[in-house]
Amino acid sequence: MADIAGVEGVTAQGPAAPRALTATRWSTLLGLWVVMLVSLPRYWFLHDTTRLLLLAILAAAITVALIGLWYLMAAAERHRCRGAVGHLIVCLAVGGLLIAAWHWTSAAAEHWAVVVSQGAALGLLIHVVLRIWRRRR
């Protein structure tokens, strides 16, 4: 079987293909997309058009990737996505609360867009670490 993009060991029908498209990986990409979207107002208020434009382009590219990967994913993994996305939502909320509490206690009351952006990034980090830790146990 032919290798995809010249990567050794990754074939269209080989054992690596089904393993690569998991619910955890899809939800992590979804989390990255959410972090990018909630970071857009931060750069909008800073009038940083360069970062805003780059972030918007990358968010659009990830949107296409999310849709494409959804259709390539096996039905069983699509079914598992509901739980993974639920876990992601909880982690994003926890991350947001932790960052909000940290900003509140340190009196570093920055703009709400910074708190939301940092909270989403922390939530995504929590999601990924917990999913990896759970998988290794």
- Percentage of the chain exceeding pLDDT 90: 69
Which ranges in 46-111 belong to alpha helices (H)? 49-72, 75-105
**CA–CA separation, 90 and 106 (whole Å):** 24
pLDDT at 94: 97
pLDDT tens figures, 97-125: 999 999 888 776 678 888 999 999 999 99
Q: Tens of pLDDT along 48-64?
A: 999 999 999 999 999 99
Domain ranges across the chain: 78-103
Q: Which amino acid is at 50?
A: T
pTM of the model: 0.81
| Average pLDDT over every residue of 88-98 | 97
